[in-house]
Structure 1
Amino acid sequence: MRRLVLAGATLAAASVLPSQAEEAVMPDQNHPYVGLWVTDDGHVRHELLPNGRYDEARGTRESAYRGRYEVSGTHIEYWDDTGFTADGDFVDADTLHHGGMVLRRR
């Protein structure tokens, strides 16, 4: 049985294939959605990191929100470090709809 450690919790992954478990927890650095996503006005800057974490800046406030994320198909789920949850959908390779905002790849 494989065990995965995620945000301080140990998860048993016996029923999940190793490649599936690793992708759900830690996206590949070449995953198509890893990178910087920005609103058209530049106010929100959302960086999806290859280690399954995100860092979101708002206005002059760098790292306003941080947490982990998982992508399943074109859907993304977020878990902020403070306990807040959110989700979004990738409309295409360069457009993310999240929390009522439209972000574009930079």
Structure 2
Amino acid sequence: MWVTADGHIRRELRADGRCDEARGHRRSASTGRYTVTGSQVDYVDDSGFTATGDIRDGVLNDEHLVLHREEKQA
């Protein structure tokens, strides 16, 4: 799970190549698929919108968003 610093946007990149993004209290605000090539992440949401991101030093920079891995709670 990747999340913005304020927790408003949460993006799950699943092992099956699907992604699910929540915005605030709205679950599954955007769903689609993704691929990773090196450090680049390419998204195509189910409406056909595309976006590209890049993972560097544990940070996912995606267009105008900066997301960090969510810490797993014990």
Q: Under a length normalisation based on structure 1, what TM-score does the superposition of the two structures give?
A: 0.65
Match of 2:30 in 1: 65
Q: Which deviations, in whole Å up to 9, do the C-alpha atoms of 1:29-81 show, x marking residues without a partner?
A: xxxxxxx0000000000000000000000011000000000000000000000
Q: RCO higher in 1 or 2 (8 Å CA, sep ≥ 6)?
A: 2
Counterpart selection for 1:90 from 55, 58, 63 = 55
CA distance in 2, matches of 1:102, 1:41: 10
Coordinate RMSD, CA, aligned: 0.6
**Largest Rg, 1 or 2:** 1
- Unpaired segments of 5 or more residues in structure 1? 1-35
Which amino acid counterpart does residue 74 of structure 1 have in structure 2? S
- Unpaired segments of 5 or more residues in structure 2? none
- How many residue pairs are counted as aligned between the two chains? 70
Does residue 75 of the first structure (1) align with residue 40 of the second (2)?
yes
CA distance in 1, matches of 2:63, 2:31: 15
Identity of paired residues, percent?
54
Q: Under a length normalisation based on structure 2, what TM-score does the superposition of the two structures give?
A: 0.92
